[in-house]
Structure 1
Amino acid sequence: MTTVHVEPLELPARLTAPPRLTQRHPWLLPAAMAAHRARRRTQWVRDAWSGRVVWASHHTTDDLPVRLKQHGSLLLRELSADQMHLQHNKVTNLRLAARRIDGIVIAPGETFSFNRVVGNCTRRKGYVDGMKLSNGEAEAGVGGGICQIANLVHWMVLHSPLTVVERSEHSFDPFPDKGRVLPWGVGCSIVYNYVDLVVRNDTDQPFQLRTWVGDRYLHGQLRTDRRPARSYKVEARGEQFLRRDGQVFRRNQVWRRVIDRRTGDQVGEELLKTNCALVVYEPAPGVEVIDVD
């Protein structure tokens, strides 16, 4: 009989903290969001004036010669019939966001901000109601679904020497793994403009993002001018579903292995993230759920 080793379940503070003021009084949410956005805009201006941050803004349609990483993610998930129209609307939103990102070059010393490049997703710009996640539930919201392109960019960046400065993830695991290609726990949460994906180029070479929407997939490429000396392999370890007090939690660790391109040898590895989230669906039959105290 095999014994499964289970580390104590330590929940992130965001899952154990008392309800936020805006959760207790939802009418305060617009004011809170306005304050967060004003704070972020002030930070952007301060960083620009001080010269501490140089924001990537140059686009080119000429591909840099080396394709370092490419990925495609399925546009439409199989959800309930009453949610599929939001999935189709999401494609419209992704197409608009992809055009804003496509071709941007992150030069040495520059920093890429998803929110600065894509901007605020408003109806005036053509964005429509897509699926957004709020407190573990799917709901309609203008610009919903653009997290998918942030996930794509983040995944490609993890396979490069670029530095992830800022990235937030969802507190909930909202959907089963049917059709999942990327490891669970490498996604991003985006809320304009204060929940962002920010990437800095600390190398001596430029990197270029290409993004576009195809018939079935959202496509992305990360390109550069010469192949770096190292490559990267990203993987999830220690995947577990745990039940405590009637709730199911999912956890894992995301690791990155560093490979010397010349020899093919692994020269290092790093723990990128320890994930733990509340599961808001019933795990499929065959998925082991371990009861813990």
Structure 2
Amino acid sequence: MNISRMDLNLAQVFLALWHERSVSRAAIRLALTQPAVSASLRRLRVQCGDELFVRTRYGMQPTSRATEIASVLDECVNTMRIALGKPGEFDPASSTRSFVVGYDGGVDYALGSQLMARVREVAPNVTLTARTVAPGTMNLTLDRKEIDLAVTIYPLTRPDYATISLTSYRMVCVGNPALVNLPDSLQLEELCQWDQILIEGARQHSAFDHALRNLGFSRTIRLVVPSFGHLPLLLGKSRTVAVVPEYIARAFGEMTDLRIASLPDIIGPRDVRLLSPLTIGGDAGLHWLQSMILDLHAIWSA
């Protein structure tokens, strides 16, 4: 199929499916019904002569043909958006635009929730999607243009993206004071006496545990959970603790009675960084979203 002949409405449906990997989420993103999106997908499949998106247990996964189309179509639609708009103009109060921000390291629990609340307040018709990106895959996510902006805890740099430091953070220990008597600070030998919960992704990407082993210590892991979101409930019901970035501890501390204990800084301060495309100057909407993120940086020092 010649992409230049694709119906623009179908192009929007294609990109929504590409970004969301779900018919239902694509429908929400486009303010359409699920049957309407499914009908558009059928038309796309006929026009492209390809399945494009295959239903799996992990969602609608794109075929190689869909990946090829997306790399061209996303750029075309973005170019049209900029060309049809007036440079430097974006009205958040009336805009119905959709944005996707990718987060790793659990930063969405802190910055993501704050950003969504602020966007909802000043841009009620804008759709903001927070996408959790698996450790070590942010670069691939950017290559696929699945997100507009990235917030990462990893030392990722790209020649086509500007990198802005938002804050630095350290690792701390959290636990339920009703079950564990955490002091204000813990030494490493004290930390290793507690039964602990580990985030599954940290099995391969934990700089803290790597440094701990180099110092001759090891933790006793009793539970492994898929994400930081499981921690408040489990810590509230078991005599366990967890080592987490301090921004996670602060975010959960606002919602629960979890106690925070400082730890020796064995890996040094780490940065949370924003990656934005160098072409952002031509996109007033993305420039606005970036400014919103930078304006919220005060939450890190609260």
TM-score by length of structure 2 reads 0.22
Max Rg structure: 2
TM-score by length of structure 1 reads 0.22
Structure number having the greater strand percentage:
1
Structure number having the greater helix percentage:
2
